[in-house]
Amino acid sequence: MLQVNRRPKSLLDVKMHYCPGCGHGIVHRLVAECLDELEVASRAVGVAPVGCSVFADHYFACDMIQGAHGRGPAIATGIKRSKPECIVFSYQGDGDLASIGMAETVHSAARSENITVVFINNSIYGMTGGQMAPTTLIGQPSTTSPKGRDVKVNGYPIRVCELLSQLDGARYLERTSVHTAAHVIKTKKALKKAFQNQIDGKGFSMVEVLSMCPTNLAIAPKDNAKFIAEKMLPVYPLGVYKDADAPAAGGK
């Protein structure tokens, strides 16, 4: 018999600590597959965030550094500038990248640092216990907004891809999702392009992945996939927001 799928070599053979149905496991595998297929695992350096994926260094078989909350792109900048031959990626969640790390994210993109950022958007803070994140949808309940996010008090959700697409330094921005198998395959393509851009020295590349957090949304994983399809996609439309290679650069 022929084995169709194989565990990527860049992903260590250990059981992950994530909750059932969490999207991190899927994206970890996709990142590891990209590192394998582009043959850069031996010179890859990852930056693990603060959040549920803080233990990403337990799972990736490449060098990893665990950064302070939100400082992933700043640390990745330092690694890439001191060792330009390394392939550097920062793996971050929405509380990490869009809240406390917004300054680092925006300025890394503005400087067009030649790094790859993997941004997991699950519309809520995961590890800290389901608080409202900058990406929480209007009306979505969380432990700090039990009656739902109220725009008068909490403002509006941040769309990171749209925000960064205004910067000339951001070279590749795409939003994908992992709520169905088809979207997982598309996410892999986007991640591979983001890593290829770095190998080609094109500058700042980011892939935003809409992901599941069934524990903190307090719904079953399959209902979380439905939640993404019905509630998140209208607010966070999928697609390529910037591709410096595309003929009409700067547009959708």
Partner 1 sequence: MPEIKIDEMRCKGCELCVTACPKQCIGMSDVFSVTGYYPAKFSKPEACTGCALCAQICPDLAIEVYKEEPVKK
Per CB under 8 A, residues contacting partner 1 are 1-5, 7, 11, 15-16, 18-26, 29, 178, 180-182, 184-185, 214, 220-222, 225
User: Is the Cβ of residue 5 or residue 82 nearer to partner 1 in the bound state?
Assistant: 5
User: Is the Cβ of residue 42 or residue 180 nearer to partner 1 in the bound state?
Assistant: 180
User: Is the Cβ of residue 138 or residue 185 nearer to partner 1 in the bound state?
Assistant: 185
User: Is the Cβ of residue 12 or residue 68 nearer to partner 1 in the bound state?
Assistant: 12
User: Is the Cβ of residue 52 or residue 62 nearer to partner 1 in the bound state?
Assistant: 52
Minimum CB–partner distance for residue 238 and partner 1 (Å): 17
User: Is the Cβ of residue 23 or residue 101 nearer to partner 1 in the bound state?
Assistant: 23
Rounded to whole angstroms, the Cα distance separating 237 from 52 reads 25
Minimum CB–partner distance for residue 28 and partner 1 (Å): 9
Minimum CB–partner distance for residue 201 and partner 1 (Å): 31
Rounded to whole angstroms, the Cα distance separating 208 from 200 reads 21
Minimum CB–partner distance for residue 218 and partner 1 (Å): 15
Minimum CB–partner distance for residue 1 and partner 1 (Å): 4
Q: In what order do the strands lie in the sheet with 204-210?
A: 63-66, 44-48, 87-93, 116-121, 204-210, 170-177, 239-243
CB 222 within 8 A of CB 32: no
Cα separation values, 22 from 25, 62, 69, 71, 215, Å: 7, 22, 21, 23, 8
Rounded to whole angstroms, the Cα distance separating 205 from 183 reads 19
Q: Helices 72-82 and 102-110 sit at what angle, rounded to 10 degrees?
A: 40
| 3-9: long-range contacts, CB 8 A cutoff, minimum separation 24 | 8/32, 8/33, 8/35, 8/36, 9/36, 9/41, 9/61
Minimum CB–partner distance for residue 26 and partner 1 (Å): 5
